[in-house]
Chain A
Amino acid sequence: MPGIADLPELPEPAKQRPSRGGDRLCLSGLGVGALRDVSLEVAPGEVVCVSGESGSGKSRLLRAIADLEPHEGEVTLGADRRRDFPAHCWRGWVMLVPAESSWWGDVVSEHFMEPAPDSFAAFDMPEASLDWQIERLSSGEKQRLAVLRALSHEPRALLLDEPTANLDPELARRVESWLRDYFRASSMPVIWVAHDRAQIERVADRHFEIREASPGVARLEEQS
């Protein structure tokens, strides 16, 4: 079972970086499925929310940015162009947290690097949950741990797919406000797929919606 020991070494350019954040995430001319021509700049520390009806291609857009499926367009992070780096380096930098997380080891800690400071408390998870058995986790616990796992791998940008969908409203608020502060403090650009209007109001610096422009063609439109 590949656990922590199997995880790739951090690529060279990242090692030299004092801080992991501070880069601008630029999408240019991205196209996947019906969604065409997505060009978007996410500033360091900015949270951009993306919403849209189910099946409109929100998740596919995130998968395309993380380079998990064939698509058009180019993405850059700071001065690093995606095509200049091996795909696994890129995914280690621009990390996707899918709506449904997958776990392969027996114990939670097998999937983790060093957890981000205070992150467990903010997510209402005891640090001891690192020793929990995967098969005994609830869906809400899995979802929170998936975000914590991604943070522990110290990405330079995050792509979140409905990260609080399985949490009760109070906990969701607490998690989202902690995440907001964390992204600001570490200057991390974030694209956050959400459907709850109130949540978007609370966390988003800018909000885009996927709309059908003409039959079979969808575009990203900024909402004010």
Chain B
Amino acid sequence: MTGGLIELAWWELAIGGALVVALAVVTHLGRLGLARELLIAAARMVVQLAIIGLVLETLFAVSGLHWVALMAVVMLLLAGREVMSRQKRRMTGGWAFAIGTVSMFISAFAVSVFALVVVIGPSPWYTPQYAIPLLGMLLGNTMTGVALGMDRLTDSAWRQRQVIEGRLMLGMTWSQAIGDLRRDAMRSGMIPIINGMAAAGVVSLPGMMTGQILAGSPPALAVKYQVLVFLLIAVGTGFGTVAAVMAASRRLFDERERLRLDRIGGSPG
């Protein structure tokens, strides 16, 4: 099996592209109004992946710690921006970005470094072939959890203002007053990864494992890597979501434990 990797030529990818064009024609004829979006999204995907391919080739060639770190920071900031843009009612004053980024830093980032140093142990530990894909998978999933958790928290606080203030009026602390909303928000951030693990291998073959098998690695090894990655993702998503929801819920109250919905922006559209 080793060395049996089949090269893909660019013109072979064009065949796949032609099939997408065919799909676009069908959707156009069916008046789904999606043909444009479909083609644009496909084109974006090709360009973005081509660029990241070039970046990774360069990164693997130079392989210095500072370059890997720079790449990691850029990925982290982009993930933070994505978390912010997924909020229906986002916290004002850059707090949505700050809370999202910091909580991903202390979860996804820390877990990646831990896995590289303690578990996988490539040498040097920051070898980009391991570090960048691992961080990418962790950030991608943690980002989803953090964004869902924060969105759920701010939205439910907005809707249930009366209940929260009613509890404050009876002398409850801010933490007791928002406790059940906070638990719900944490739960909704962690459910996707729990469902993902439960369905793994039964309903879907995880993408990373599939890729590794396609690349010629023995399935047993691919499975081990996939298990490791799933566990890391669960840990990263869990801690990231908990941290983000805790920080965001504290930010909803001021130093006199007043509910401050003016710290959440209105719903854009």
A residues near B, CB below 8 A?
Answer: 1-2, 6-8, 66-70, 86-89, 91-93, 95-98, 100-104, 111, 149-150, 153
Majority secondary structure of chain A interface residues (helix, strand, loop or mixed): loop
Give A82's nearest chain B residue, CB to CB: B256
Chain B residue numbers with a CB within 8 Å of A1 are 180
Q: Is B163 an interface residue when CB atoms closer than 8 A count as contact?
A: yes
Give B162's nearest chain A residue, CB to CB: A102
Give A97's nearest chain B residue, CB to CB: B169
Chain A residue numbers with a CB within 8 Å of B171 are 7-8, 88-89, 91-93, 95, 153
Q: Is B167 an interface residue when CB atoms closer than 8 A count as contact?
A: yes
Q: How many A-B residue pairs have CB under 8 A?
A: 74
Chain B residue numbers with a CB within 8 Å of A149 are 170
Contact A92/B170 with A1-B180, A2-B179, A70-B258 known, Cβ cut-off 8 Å: yes
Contact B169 A95 (CB under 8 A): yes
Closest CB of chain B to A67's CB: distance in Å? 5
Contact B167 A153 (CB under 8 A): no
Residues of B in contact (CB 8 Å), total 20
Closest CB of chain B to A37's CB: distance in Å? 21
Contact A68/B166 with A87-B257, A88-B174 known, Cβ cut-off 8 Å: no
Q: Which of B163, B168, B179, B254 contacts A91 (CB 8 A)?
A: B168
Closest CB of chain B to A157's CB: distance in Å? 12
The answer for the CA separation of A215 and B25 in the assembled complex, in Å, is 65
Closest CB of chain A to B253's CB: distance in Å? 9
The answer for the CA separation of A95 and B172 in the assembled complex, in Å, is 11
Majority secondary structure of chain B interface residues (helix, strand, loop or mixed): helix
The answer for the CA separation of A116 and B146 in the assembled complex, in Å, is 45
Q: Which chain B residues numbered 143 to 199 have a C-beta less than 8 Å away from chain A? A: 162-163, 165-174, 176, 179-180
Most A CB within 10 A of own CB, among B165, B170, B176, B179: B170
The answer for the CA separation of A176 and B170 in the assembled complex, in Å, is 21
Q: Which 7 A-B pairs have the closest CB atoms?
A: A92-B171, A102-B166, A87-B257, A102-B162, A87-B256, A88-B173, A96-B169
The answer for the CA separation of A67 and B168 in the assembled complex, in Å, is 10
Encode contact with A along B72-102: 1 for CB under 8 Å, 0 otherwise. 0000000000000000000000000000000
The answer for the CA separation of A2 and B168 in the assembled complex, in Å, is 12
Chain B residue numbers with a CB within 8 Å of A100 are 162
The answer for the CA separation of A70 and B180 in the assembled complex, in Å, is 25
Contact A8/B173 with A70-B254, A87-B257 known, Cβ cut-off 8 Å: yes
Most B CB within 10 A of own CB, among A6, A93, A97, A100: A6
The answer for the CA separation of A69 and B195 in the assembled complex, in Å, is 41
Contact B257 A86 (CB under 8 A): yes
Contact A153/B170 with A6-B179, A104-B163 known, Cβ cut-off 8 Å: yes
Contact A69/B258 with A2-B176, A95-B171 known, Cβ cut-off 8 Å: yes
Contact A87 B166 (CB under 8 A): no
Contact A103 B166 (CB under 8 A): yes
Contact A68 B162 (CB under 8 A): no
The answer for the CA separation of A98 and B162 in the assembled complex, in Å, is 10
Give B179's nearest chain A residue, CB to CB: A2
Contact B168 A101 (CB under 8 A): no
Chain A residue numbers with a CB within 8 Å of B179 are 2, 6
Q: A2-B176, A104-B166 are in contact. List 17 more A-B contacts (CB 8 A).
A: A2-B167, A6-B176, A7-B176, A68-B259, A70-B258, A86-B173, A87-B258, A88-B173, A91-B169, A91-B171, A92-B170, A95-B169, A97-B169, A98-B165, A98-B166, A103-B163, A103-B166
Chain A residue numbers with a CB within 8 Å of B174 are 88
Chain B residue numbers with a CB within 8 Å of A153 are 170-171
Contact A98/B169 with A6-B176, A8-B176, A88-B174 known, Cβ cut-off 8 Å: yes
Contact A7/B172 with A67-B256, A87-B257 known, Cβ cut-off 8 Å: yes
The answer for the CA separation of A52 and B267 in the assembled complex, in Å, is 33
Contact A88/B258 with A1-B180, A2-B167 known, Cβ cut-off 8 Å: no
Most A CB within 10 A of own CB, among B167, B173, B174, B256: B256
Chain A residue numbers with a CB within 8 Å of B173 are 8, 86, 88
Contact B254 A8 (CB under 8 A): no
